[in-house]
Chains A and B, each alone.
Chain A
Amino acid sequence: EAQVTQNPRYLITVTGKKLTVTCSQNMNHEYMSWYRQDPGLGLRQIYYSMNVEVTDKGDVPEGYKVSRKEKRNFPLILESPSPNQTSLYFCASTRAGTSAYEQYFGPGTRLTVT
Chain B
Amino acid sequence: AQSVTQPDIHITVSEGASLELRCNYSYGATPYLFWYVQSPGQGLQLLLKYFSGDTLVQGIKGFEAEFKRSQSSFNLRKPSVHWSDAAEYFCAVVQYSSASKIIFGSGTRLSIRP
Residues of A in contact with B (beta carbons under 8 Å apart): 4, 31, 33, 35, 40-45, 48-50, 56, 58, 90, 92, 94-96, 99-103, 105-108
B43 touches A107 (CB 8 A): yes
**B27 interface residue, CB < 8 Å from A?**
no
B100 touches A50 (CB 8 A): yes
The binding surface of chain A is classed by DSSP as strand
B101 touches A48 (CB 8 A): yes
Chain B residues within an 8 Å CB radius of A42: 6, 90, 104-107
B106 touches A103 (CB 8 A): no
- B contact residues, total (Cβ < 8 Å): 22
**B56 interface residue, CB < 8 Å from A?**
no
A101 touches B49 (CB 8 A): yes
Instruction: Please report the C-alpha to C-alpha distance between residue A107 and residue B46 in the assembled complex, in whole angstroms.
Output: 13
Instruction: Please report the C-alpha to C-alpha distance between residue A24 and residue B101 in the assembled complex, in whole angstroms.
Output: 19
Closest 7 CB pairs of A and B: A105-B43, A42-B106, A48-B100, A42-B104, A43-B104, A31-B100, A105-B44
